[in-house]
Amino acid sequence: MGLRIKWVNFSPPQVIVLGFALIILFGAVVLMLPVSNNNGEFLPFIDAFFTSVSATTATGLEVVDTGTSFSWFGQVVIMLLIQVGGLGFMTMATLIALVFKRKISLKERLLLQEAMNQGSMEGIVRLIRRVLFYALAIESAAAVLYAIRFAFDMPFGRALYFGVFHAVSLFNNSGFDLFGNYRSMMMYTADPAVNLITMFLIVTGGLGFIVLSDLADYRNRRRLTLHSKVVLTMSGLLIISGALVILVFEFTNKHTLGSLDWSGKLWSAFFQSVAPRTAGAHTLDISSLRQATQFFILILMFIGASPSSTGGGIKTTTFMILLGAVVSMIRGRSELVLFRYRLAQERIFKAVTITMLALFLVISVALILSTTERGTSFLSILFETTSAFGTVGLSMGITGDLSTAGKLILSFTMFTGRLGLLTLAYALGPKKGKQLYRHPEGKMILG
């Protein structure tokens, strides 16, 4: 008994793309039904489709207010889509297989290897077990803490429901919330409990399950892998530097930090620095931020979270490799060394490829949207596009006013950002063949 599906001759990337597409279509059909909506009417398919894409990709951009427009049934469907999309449908399928004690086949291990972005199948099932354990443990603990805090503002049953929904949403780095009117966490701007719980969920979900597993083993091994060192270092630098930049840029802005005391300023600066990593929660009005701050947050969204996490973006490891390559070139070194480990040229080429493809996608989509969404500022469009690509969910307030074409374009952007540009390219491109010859080396003048 289990989910044994014959995928014919589909490659692992093709199976992952097809699986996510089917989940999105299923979610769209369910969300458009009257039972999913508070008004008891059918939701337009394009809005249901956009919401399903946003939930399954763990983004959080909303064309319909989740807290006021969807019924509890629709909200639970969105929460389940976030969970399946954030952890990966193959991870959830493995959970079902493990519950029914079914053996994981070789084909399924290959799919899991691709889904978790691993170099080999060794220990992949053990990693999936840890992924499921960490996710459920962290979400459960956060749900209880949220419920206790929210119980001061609402009946306990509602507080528990809100706690579960937001724990799932934020651990999976999604921006969906139930507070209504697209307020997110703005009513808890200076609340230490909500800020700490939320930031902890976003950071742990964005670090990646490989890093969480490595940290759990640290007591026995007394060392971290190169991957974990890079992720933790870059994540820490981005969060701290981001908070400092936001604090400086917004310190005197009366619409954001200017009206808060020192405690509120610090909480808000750190929260807005953590959120673009890639969760759409916010405690300040994004549209009221100064343009310099908005553009800086845009950069953070583009970098995103870490590999094998619930977040998107080009990833922290890619950004670290790019910075390292620049520093090595400036110093006249022919090799890139991080934490006393030399990186292969293939890693550098892959980082450059991912970044260039991401830039091409974001710029192309922003240019197209600037044509379809006339009357909207280009910074707002670029911000929305980057948020969709990074599966962040932050917005300057234009999502609800998008045209049908704009919704479809951003849906494709979210889908691409969640799966990864290379995964999509491998799925749609021809099978790789072995190169049987080498061309003569040529020389070009650069710079």
Stated pTM of the model:
0.89
Q: What angle do CA 132, 134, 138 make, to 5 degrees?
A: 120
Alpha helices in 251-274 (DSSP H): 262-274
- Tell me the CB-side half-sphere exposure of residue 372, using CA atoms within 13 A: 18
Tokens coding 6: 């014959």
Digitized pLDDT (tens) for each residue of the chain, 447 residues in all:
344 445 456 666 777 788 889 999 999 999 999 999 999 899 999 999 999 999 999 899 999 999 899 999 999 999 999 998 887 755 665 665 555 556 666 665 666 665 555 555 566 667 777 788 888 999 999 999 999 999 999 999 999 999 999 999 999 988 899 998 888 899 999 999 999 999 999 999 888 888 888 888 888 888 888 989 999 999 999 999 999 999 999 999 999 999 899 999 999 999 999 999 888 899 999 999 999 999 999 999 999 988 878 788 899 999 999 999 999 888 888 888 888 889 888 889 989 999 999 999 999 999 999 999 988 999 999 999 999 999 999 999 899 899 999 999 999 999 998 887 776 666 565 555 556 667 777 777 766
Neighbouring-strand partners of residue 70:
37
Check: CB of residue 267 under 8 Å from CB of residue 192.
yes
Neighbouring-strand partners of residue 343:
336
- pLDDT in the model for residue 273: 95
Report which of 38, 82, 47 is spatially closest to residue 400, judged by C-alpha positions.
47
Reported as type and span, the H/E element at residue 362 is helix 345-372
Grouping H, G, I as helix, E, B as strand and the rest as coil, residue 30 is helix
**In whole angstroms, what is the distance from residue 291 CA to residue 268 CA?**
17
Per-residue CA distances from 137 to 41, 83, 94, 388, 404 (Å): 37, 14, 18, 28, 39
**In whole angstroms, what is the distance from residue 386 CA to residue 367 CA?**
12
- pLDDT in the model for residue 119: 56
Only one residue has tokens 């808890």, namely 188
Burial of residue 321 (CB within 10 Å: 0-12, 13-18, 19+) is buried
Per-residue CA distances from 330 to 307, 324, 325, 335, 353 (Å): 27, 10, 9, 12, 21
Only one residue has tokens 């007591």, namely 219
Hey, what amino acid is at 2? G
Per-residue CA distances from 139 to 101, 147, 243, 270 (Å): 24, 12, 25, 21
Check: CB of residue 231 under 8 Å from CB of residue 211.
yes
- pLDDT in the model for residue 94: 61
Domain residues of the chain, as ranges? 12-423
The dihedral through the CA atoms of 267, 272, 273, 274 has a sign that is positive
Question: What is the 8-class DSSP label of residue 2?
Answer: -
Cβ neighbours around 214 below 10 Å, total: 20
**31-60 pLDDT per residue, tens:** 999 999 999 899 999 999 999 999 999 899
Grouping H, G, I as helix, E, B as strand and the rest as coil, residue 336 is strand
The dihedral through the CA atoms of 413, 311, 66, 56 has a sign that is positive
Check: CB of residue 125 under 8 Å from CB of residue 149.
no
Cβ neighbours around 394 below 10 Å, total: 28
Report which of 166, 115, 187, 202 is spatially closest to residue 390, judged by C-alpha positions.
202
Report which of 180, 169, 403, 389 is spatially closest to residue 301, judged by C-alpha positions.
389
